[in-house]
Amino acid sequence: MKRVKVNPWNPLPPYAQIEEKLVRSKGFSSLKTHTKWLFVEFRLRYKGNNPREIIFLESEGKEIMDPRTFTEDCRELVKRGFIDLVKRGGFYKQPHIWGLSKRWEKYGTKGFIEVDMDKIFPEILKKK
């Protein structure tokens, strides 16, 4: 069998780095499976220099899950402190800009700051 030379200059394929501390956390372990996979999709969009500039369109979310499930899972990830909504889009085809958050580290303690998506969005866009 012929040995294959590995070229050190070839870029690595996309991957999502997730810390063990995050996986074992109280907030992450209580998430539903599809919500965890959505978080992995957010981490795949993180390129090392854009922790507060992640664009994830609802049309992209439709490819991996139902649109309503996508919206509910995003709300749950914000509520548990894994992601934050940095800039609200929606009008004139502007995308939402998401950011990775470290609030999950304090989930379940008195120091945890819970963010409610219903307070971020205007009345017309609220969940009914």
Query: Is residue 102 classed exposed, middle or buried when 0-12, 13-18 and 19+ CB atoms within 10 A define those classes?
Result: exposed
> What's the pLDDT at 48?
86
Phi, psi of 102 (to 5 degrees): -110, 10
- Averages of pLDDT over runs of 10 residues in the chain (128 residues) are 73 85 96 97 92 93 93 94 90 90 94 84 56
Judge contact between 29 and 110, C-beta under 8 A: no
Q: What CATH architecture applies to the domain 20-119? A: Orthogonal Bundle (1.10)
Judge contact between 76 and 35, C-beta under 8 A: yes
CA nearest 114: which of 69, 68, 75? Answer: 75
Domain boundaries, the chain: 20-119
> What's the pLDDT at 117?
80
Task: Note every long-range contact of 49-53, with CB atoms under 8 Å and residues 24 or more positions apart, other chains counting.
Answer: 51/99, 51/100, 52/84, 52/86, 52/97, 52/99, 52/100, 53/86, 53/97, 53/99
> What's the pLDDT at 124?
54
> What's the pLDDT at 127?
53
pTM of the predicted model, to two decimals?
0.83
